[in-house]
Amino acid sequence: MNAVARIAVVTGAGSGIGRSVAVALAGAGWSVVAAGRRAEALEETASLAGGDVLCVPADVTSPADVTTLFAAVREHHGRLDLLFNNAGTSGPSVPFENLTYEAWRTVVDVNLTGAFLCAQAAFRAMKEQSPQGGRIINNGSVSAHVPRPNSAPYTSTKHAMTGLTKSLSLDGRAYSIACGQIDIGNAATEMTQRMQTGILQANGDVMVEPVMDAADVARTVLHMAELPPAANVQFATVMATAMPYIGRG
C-alpha cells in the first residue's frame, strides 16, 4: 500500500452504494470525506467504516454547499485524489404524460446538475494542486444504456452522465485527471427495494428481479480508484448476474 495519504470524496455517502464505497475506501487506507444531506446517516457510515472519515453534510444541488464541501477537503487534507460522484435519485415511476415538471427538475438537479457541480469543484482542485491530477468516478447505471418503463428523467440523466464522463476524460488529460464511469444494475439498496417485490417490465408484466450486494459494487470502485494514474477504467458495468438486462426480455 502507498504510505502517502489518499483523499477521496464520496457523495451520497449516507446510504446504499455511497456508504458501501466509503467503507471500502476507508478499509483500504483512504481518508474519506463523506458527503450527503443527512448528518446522522453520514455519522453512521463513519462508524461502520472505522477509518479516517470526515462527515460534511451537503446538498449536491446547492452550489454553496458544494463550495463548502470542497473547501472542507482543502482545509482538512490539502489535496484531493478521488471523487466518487454518486449522489442520485430515481424519481417517480409514472407514465411519461403524467410526469410533472417538478419531478423532472428534481431528478435532473440531483443526478446531473449535482454531478456537474461536484465534478467541476473536484476538477479545479485537481488541476490546481501539486502534484497535479486525480480521478473522478461517475455513478452511471445500466439505464445509461437501456431504459426501464416510465423512467424518462432517470434514464435521461444517466445518458447525460455518460457524456459528462467522456468530456471530463478528454478535458482532464492535460492535467492528469482521469475520469471513468461505473454502470450499476440491481444493487440491493433502499432505491432498489421494489425490485425485490416486483417491478414493471417492458412487456407490461410485473416481476421480481435478482439483486446483488452493494459491497460487490464497492470492490469494483476500489479497483478503479487504485489504478495508477496512467491507467483508467473508462466504463465498467457491474450487475446482478440474472437480472433481465441482456437478451430480449
The dihedrals phi and psi of 150, each to the nearest 5 degrees, come to: 60, 45
- Residue 199 sits in which domain range? 7-239
pTM of the entire predicted model: 0.92
Is residue 159 a part of any domain in this protein? yes
Catalytically annotated residue among 101, 154, 175, 245: 154
Helix axes of 16-27 and 214-225: crossing angle, nearest 10 degrees: 50
Report the CATH number at residue 53: 3.40.50.720
- The answer to whether 154 is a known catalytic residue is yes
Query: Which pLDDT band, with edges at 50, 70 and 90, does 131 fall under?
Result: very high
- For 3-6, the CB contacts below 8 A with 24+ separation are 5/31, 5/52, 5/77, 6/30, 6/31, 6/81, 6/82
What pLDDT digit, counting tens, does each position of 24-77 carry? 999 999 999 999 999 999 999 999 999 899 999 999 999 999 999 999 999 999
Given a cut of 80, whether residue 186 has pLDDT beyond it is yes
Answer yes or no: are the C-beta atoms of 90 and 110 closer than 8 Å.
no
Is residue 247 a part of any domain in this protein? no
